Structure 1
Amino acid sequence: MYLNLRRYPGIGVGREVIEQSVRTELLPELRRQAGFKGYCAFWDEAGAGVSISLFEDAEAAHASTDTARRWVMRHQDFFPERGEEVSGECIAHEVSHGQEQGPLFVLVRELDHVPGTQDTRAFVQQRTLPMITRWPGFRGVYMARSDRKESRAVVVTLFDSQQNAAACHDRAVELLKEGLPQVTVSRVIRGESVVLGTAGG
């Protein structure tokens, strides 16, 4: 599984216009691509537009980047500022079974100084991942290491509510301090999903 996280700091038109274009133009184009697994978009607390795309492998994900860029170029008034991007292979991912329809609350942790060691992978598999997946309201988690800067990682969590997402985040940060004290949380991005899509529909 490969993850693309994009964030556009400023918008030049109404949110509804962008959301409609994502639903009717961008998402159908992404779904037609080989290896597409899922898509989620939301507005963060600073008003930025954020999207998370999931693909089977790096090749499919990189092809989707071209699709997203073409969409942005067609709508240059949407995002007057250059977007930010983090991409990488998922070192761990889990989803809950029997997900209900409706919006999800998304919380993204961007991490720096992540050691590329077996100890890190063991910590994730034995402590962080089980804690997150057992948390009340858990819907999904995707942990990816940046393919541009190995010491950087991103953790995307999906929950049924802001309260559950925030409480789990607090516990995850405590665990990091206990098990990987050199890791720093460089940024937290959060918001309620406005567009959700999977390969199945």
Structure 2
Amino acid sequence: MYINLRRYAQLGAGKAVIEHSVETDLLPELQKQPGFKAYCAFWDQHGAGVSMSLFDDAEAAHESTDAVRRWVMHHQDFFPERGEEFAGECFAYAVAHGQEQSQGGAKRALYVLIRELDNVPGTQDTQAFVQQRTLPMITRSPGFRGVYTARHDETGSRAAVVTLFDEERQALACHEKAVELLKEGLPKVAVTRVVRGESVILRM
């Protein structure tokens, strides 16, 4: 599984206009791409536009980037400044039982919280810690719907953890527990940013 994250801090058009274009122009193109698994978009606590797309592998994800760039170029007024990007292989992920089947094309919203990390050791101990402690804690948390943990494909010390929950309070409670676990098991890892918001577009 391979993940692409994008964040656009500056907006040059109304949110409703951008959402409509994503729904009718961008998302259909992404869904045509071989290996497409999921897409989610939300407005974070600072008003930035954030998106997550999931593909079977790196090749499929990189090919989808062309579709995104064509869409951005066609709507240059949407985003006056270049967006931030994060891409990497998911080394730990899980989805709540029935989540993929229950979502489909429905409009139901989930609360998304993305935790960005730095100084992540590139060792087997790190992966073992995530698999044995962090992942079980997240998947057993109330309201859990999905989690994807990936290491940046160019800067190996960076990582991102995307979590999806039914409600904001559940996502925040899980985040606090995850930070405490990090302090105990990987004390040198730094949480560099947290972005969160309720999904406005969700396909899983």
Equivalent residue for 1:128, pick from 119, 134, 158: 134
**2:53 — aligned with what?**
53
**2:68 — aligned with what?**
68
- The alpha carbon displacement at 1:97 in A equals 1.4
Q: 3-state DSSP class of the match of 2:142?
A: coil
- The alpha carbon displacement at 1:98 in A equals 2.4
- The alpha carbon displacement at 1:197 in A equals 1.4
**1:78 — aligned with what?**
78
The one-letter amino acid of 1:36's match is: F
2:37 is the alignment partner of 1:42: no
Please give the alpha-carbon distance, in whole angstroms, between the structure 2 residues aligned to 1:164 and 1:138. Answer: 8
2:145 is the alignment partner of 1:139: yes
2:172 is the alignment partner of 1:162: no
Q: 3-state DSSP class of the match of 1:12?
A: coil
- The alpha carbon displacement at 1:16 in A equals 0.3
Structure 1 unaligned segments of length 5 or more: list them: none
Structure 2 unaligned segments of length 5 or more: list them: none
Q: After TM superposition, where is structure 1 displaced by more than 2 Å over at least 4 residues in a row? A: 98-101
* Count of residue pairs brought into register by the alignment: 198
Q: Is the 8 A contact 1:140 1:157 kept in 2?
A: yes
Q: Is the 8 A contact 1:27 1:197 kept in 2?
A: no
Q: 3-state DSSP class of the match of 2:141?
A: coil
Normalised by the length of structure 1, the TM-score is 0.97
Normalised by the length of structure 2, the TM-score is 0.96
Please give the alpha-carbon distance, in whole angstroms, between the structure 2 residues aligned to 1:98 and 1:127. Answer: 23
**1:176 — aligned with what?**
182
Aligned-residue Cα RMSD (Å) equals 0.7
Please give the alpha-carbon distance, in whole angstroms, between the structure 2 residues aligned to 1:81 and 1:162. Answer: 29
Instruction: Tell me the percent identity.
Output: 72
- The alpha carbon displacement at 1:127 in A equals 0.1
Please give the alpha-carbon distance, in whole angstroms, between the structure 2 residues aligned to 1:141 and 1:167. Answer: 15
Q: Is the 8 A contact 1:111 1:154 kept in 2?
A: yes
